[in-house]
């Protein structure tokens, strides 16, 4: 039985090649082998969504994907959301609306929330709640997370940071903070 | 940390290659597509395959299309063919399934969560053979079938004969499921009702139904039941009680009563037996009522 295999995939726009055991889960691959610890690892059972990242543009629970299955595919993690060090509108929304307390679910919430905004830039509350129904938060009661996604919908185009609107908002926030 | 036991991993590019590898490895190999049932079982050592054969790259298994009667080994009527690799998320929004059988979207809205639905497939769902699995109940209600391929060709197995027990199917070594088929009918309505404790959980109980109407008379009825210990996930006596009569509250209550009496649920953390028995009947009644409403709309659309 082969012990390890080489996998090559694009992670946050950069091609990486690493040696993995076939049983290595994608969440452990990005955290332990690539050092991208923004993706969190929690329930191990496909329930909580803390490990949510994108494979080929769609959010998945990476505790239930093998790293070898991502070979040749495109992975995007929470580390890729910002643009040139500027938080994107969704990340700003989580700050503005206090969308996190302990922060453990936040990377998953952000990756699912960004996917929603990319497909539906102006989602209503019910749509947001449905979209994040596979991401568990034990702190906020979800209210502020829903508001954070709404904030992003109202303050950015939902897809990119650094545009005029979000830059202006950011400046305003600093003044009022 | 939960990780599976060690195994070998192979990726195949065609159905033929997958079948060849399955034949080569025999019972020690399992196909993996979404992996959202298999990997959790492997983490718990409930499944210990020595080889995983990844079929995600195999083309020609992700279609939803109408096939004419008899084409590709189906029955004599027009059918909808759903490739084994079609993801739950695609079923939820598929226009062909939405037009003919809204029961699919009803069920998919309650299957796991959006992230899991991005990975899990219909082929994996029916092959998992979990008695609480929703799509199997849907396909059972519709009297669909499963197309199984081997090196010798294809065979079509009615869904009501496909599962041979919990987590067991008729799929043998060197065989794989390539398609699910459901018939196309006119003047029909269908619906799925499920009670779950929270998003993403398995059903406490679930019932899916369809009715085909001939004027005001029920010409055909189908019932699928999940998580309540129904033999072959259905209840033929309740289906028969409906055919030939009107689609009214009395008929639905009678069928619901038959279902309640016939099912054999197990007490667990999701509820006691009498509650699940009651729920199976009540969800059947609700699904029948919604099916009748939708059949009425379907007839109106045809008349228009």
Owner of token pair 């992003």: A152
Which residues of A fall within a CB distance of 8 Å from B89? Answer: 58
What stretches in chain B show pLDDT beneath 50?
A: none
- Is the CB of residue B102 less than 8 Å from the CB of residue B208? no
pLDDT at A65 exceeding the cut of 80: yes
Distance from CA of B178 to the nearest CA of A (A): 20
CA distances from B216 to B126, B288, B295 (A): 34, 14, 10
Tell me how crowded residue B64 is: count the other CB atoms within 10 A of its CB. Answer: 18
Q: Which CATH number fits domain B64-183: 3.40.50.300, 3.40.50.10470, 3.30.465.10, 3.40.390.10?
A: 3.30.465.10
* Chain centroid to CA A27: 13
Q: Residue B72 has what pLDDT?
A: 57
Say if A22 is an interface residue toward chain B (CB within 8 Å): yes
Q: Is the ipTM of this complex over 0.85?
A: yes
Distance from CA of A44 to the nearest CA of B (A): 6
Distance from CA of B280 to the nearest CA of A (A): 25
Contacts with A, B 73-112, CB within 8 Å: 89, 112
Q: Residue B38 has what pLDDT?
A: 97
Average pLDDT over residues A144-154: 98
Q: Residue A96 has what pLDDT?
A: 97
Contacts with A, B 188-217, CB within 8 Å: 199-200
Say if A25 is an interface residue toward chain B (CB within 8 Å): yes
Which residues of B fall within a CB distance of 8 Å from A46? Answer: 36, 40, 116
Instruction: Give Cβ neighbours of residue B115 (< 8 Å, ≥ 6 apart).
Output: A49, A52, A59, A60, A61, A112, A134, A135
Say if A42 is an interface residue toward chain B (CB within 8 Å): no
Q: Residue B302 has what pLDDT?
A: 74
Domain residue spans of chain B: 8-54, 64-183, 188-303
**What's the CATH architecture for A5-80?**
Roll (3.10)
CATH 3.10.20.30 location in chain A: 5-80
Instruction: Give Cβ neighbours of residue B271 (< 8 Å, ≥ 6 apart).
Output: B204, B279
CATH fold, domain B188-303, is Enolase-like; domain 1 (3.30.390)
Which residues of B fall within a CB distance of 8 Å from A111? Answer: none
What's the CA angle centered on B22, arms B20 and B24, to 5 degrees?
70
Query: Of B1, B114, B124, which to mutate for an interface test with A (greatest number of A Cβ within 10 Å)?
Result: B114
- Is the CB of residue B279 less than 8 Å from the CB of residue B285? no
Q: Percentage of chain A with pLDDT > 90?
A: 85
Which residues of B fall within a CB distance of 8 Å from A24? Answer: 3
Q: Which helix or strand (DSSP H or E) is residue B262 part of?
A: helix B249-262
Same fold yes or no, B8-54 and B188-303: no
pLDDT at A169 exceeding the cut of 50: no
Contact A66 B39 (CB under 8 A): yes
pLDDT at A115 exceeding the cut of 70: yes
Tell me if the domain spanning A89-176 has CATH number 1.10.150.120. Answer: yes
Give the Cα separation of B113 and A36 in Å (integer): 25
Which residues of A fall within a CB distance of 8 Å from B4? Answer: 23
The rounded mean pLDDT for chain A is 90
What does pTM read for this prediction?
Answer: 0.93
Q: Residue B74 has what pLDDT?
A: 52
Say if A39 is an interface residue toward chain B (CB within 8 Å): no
Contact A134 B35 (CB under 8 A): no
Q: Give which of A23, A61, A22 is closest to A43, Cα–Cα.
A: A61
Q: Residue A98 has what pLDDT?
A: 97
Which residues of A fall within a CB distance of 8 Å from B37? Answer: none
Give the Cα separation of B14 and B100 in Å (integer): 30
- Is the CB of residue B123 less than 8 Å from the CB of residue B162? no
Q: Residue B258 has what pLDDT?
A: 98
Q: What is the largest CA-CA distance in chain A?
A: 62
Q: Give which of B224, B225, B222, B216 is closest to B241, Cα–Cα.
A: B222
Confidence of residue A164 (pLDDT cuts 50, 70, 90): very low
CATH code of B8-54, in short, is: 3.30.43.10
* Chain centroid to CA B145: 10
Q: Sign (positive/negative) of CA torsion A46, A52, A54, A58?
A: positive
Q: Residue B303 has what pLDDT?
A: 74
Comparing alpha-carbon positions, the chain A residue that sits nearest to B119 is: A60
Say if A95 is an interface residue toward chain B (CB within 8 Å): no
């Amino acid at each position: 039985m082969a012990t390890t295999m080489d996998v090559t995939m694009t992670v946050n726009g950069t091609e990486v090649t690493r040696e993995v055991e076939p049983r290595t889960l994608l969440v452990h691959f990005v955290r332990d082998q690539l050092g991208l610890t923004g993706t969190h690892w929690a329930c191990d059972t496909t329930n909580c969504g803390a490990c949510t990242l994108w494979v080929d543009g769609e959010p998945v629970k990476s505790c239930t994907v093998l790293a070898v299955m991502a070979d040749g595919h495109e992975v995007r993690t929470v580390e890729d959301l910002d643009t040139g060090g500027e938080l994107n509108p969704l990340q700003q929304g989580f700050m503005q609306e206090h969308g996190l307390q302990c922060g453990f679910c936040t990377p998953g919430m952000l990756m699912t929330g960004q996917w929603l905004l990319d497909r539906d830039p102006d989602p209503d509350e019910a749509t947001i709640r449905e979209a994040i129904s596979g991401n568990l938060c034990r702190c906020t009661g979800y209210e502020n997370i829903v508001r954070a996604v709404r904030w992003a919908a109202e303050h950015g185009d939902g897809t990119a940071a650094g545009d005029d609107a979000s830059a202006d908002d950011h400046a305003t926030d600093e003044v009022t903070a | 940390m939960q990780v599976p036991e060690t195994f070998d991993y192979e990726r195949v590019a065609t159905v033929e290659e997958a079948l060849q590898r399955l034949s080569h490895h025999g019972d020690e190999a399992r196909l993996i597509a979404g992996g959202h049932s298999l990997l959790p079982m492997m983490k718990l050592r409930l499944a210990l395959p020595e080889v995983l054969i990844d079929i995600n790259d195999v083309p020609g298994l992700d279609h939803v299309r109408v096939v004419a009667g008899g084409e590709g080994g189906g029955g004599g009527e027009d059918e909808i063919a759903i490739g084994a690799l079609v993801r739950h998320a695609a079923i939820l929004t598929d226009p062909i399934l939405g037009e003919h059988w809204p029961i699919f979207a009803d069920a998919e809205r309650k299957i796991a969560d959006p992230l899991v639905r991005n990975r899990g497939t219909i082929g994996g769902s029916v092959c998992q053979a979990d008695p609480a699995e929703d799509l199997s109940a849907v396909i059972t209600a519709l009297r669909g079938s499963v197309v199984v391929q081997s090196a010798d060709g294809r065979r079509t197995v009615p869904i009501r004969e496909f599962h041979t027990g919990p987590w067991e199917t008729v799929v043998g070594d060197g065989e794989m499921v390539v398609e699910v088929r459901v018939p196309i009918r006119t003047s029909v309505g269908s619906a799925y009702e499920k009670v779950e404790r929270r998003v993403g959980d398995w059903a406490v109980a679930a019932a899916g139904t369809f009715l085909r109407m001939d004027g005001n008379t029920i010409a055909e009825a189908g019932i699928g039941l999940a998580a309540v210990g129904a033999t072959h996930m259905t209840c033929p006596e309740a289906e028969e009680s409906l055919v030939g009569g009107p689609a009214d509250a009395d008929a639905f209550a009678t069928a619901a009563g038959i279902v309640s009496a016939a099912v054999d649920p197990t007490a667990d953390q999701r509820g006691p037996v009498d509650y699940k028995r009651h729920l199976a009947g009540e969800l059947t009644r609700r699904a029948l009522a919604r099916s009748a409403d939708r059949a009425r709309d379907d007839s109106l659309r045809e008349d228009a």
